[in-house]
Amino acid sequence: MSKFLKISCTILFVPGILLVSFLWADGGKHEKKMEQSKKTHWTAPADAQNRVNPVTDPIESAVRGKGLYLANCMECHGPKADGNGPAAEYMVPRPSNLRAMAGHHPDGDMAWKIETGKGSMPAWKDEFKEQQIWDLVNFIQSLKKKN
């Protein structure tokens, strides 16, 4: 795609009305933004990403995680975990769409993000026990099956 802005104009004459529409092409800005996103995407260090989820019953854990999510995360990430909670519109950057992340990030990566936080995402390591963090991870990962 060209680096220059492309404009396409359509003019339609209807008796008594002149309709003009413009189509603006972004000149490759979308592609550049996607490339930049890959470079700046928030990921855990390799050792944290490779941590093994210690939970032996992920279904029961996900149920507990859902309760934690509803009580602590829903305000920002939303009732559907899609990043559209009541507080989301005031946050920059907006909260992550956890449904979109589910199944695409290792458990260790998610656990580290919950523990560590970044920007408006609080660090929960002093609020939650390790088991609770894994419960949240298991709940978030369970959303992949419900997309």
DSSP letters for 105-147: S-HHHHHHHHHH-BTTB---TTTS-HHHHHHHHHHHHHGGGG-
Predicted pLDDT at 5:
45
Q: List pLDDT tens digits, range 18-54.
A: 544 444 445 555 455 445 545 567 889 999 999 999 9
Domains held by the chain: number: 2
Same domain, 89 and 23: no
Q: What share of the chain has pLDDT > 90, as a percent?
A: 65
Q: What CATH code is carried by the domain that includes residue 88?
A: 1.10.760.10
Contact 138, 68 (CB under 8 A): no
Q: Secondary structure of the chain: what % helix, strand, coil (to 5)?
A: 45, 15, 40
Contact 139, 77 (CB under 8 A): no
Same domain, 91 and 58: yes
Same domain, 57 and 29: no
Residue 11: how many other CB atoms lie within 10 Å = 8
For residue 23, give the 3-state DSSP assignment: strand
Same domain, 25 and 55: no
**Predicted TM-score (pTM) above 0.85:** no
Same domain, 68 and 115: yes
**1 belongs to a structural domain:** no
Same domain, 21 and 75: no
Q: List pLDDT tens digits, range 70-101.
A: 999 999 999 999 999 999 999 999 999 999 99
**126 belongs to a structural domain:** yes
Domain holding 35, by residue range, is 6-40
Neighbouring-strand partners of residue 7:
24
Predicted pLDDT at 36:
52
Same domain, 99 and 138: yes
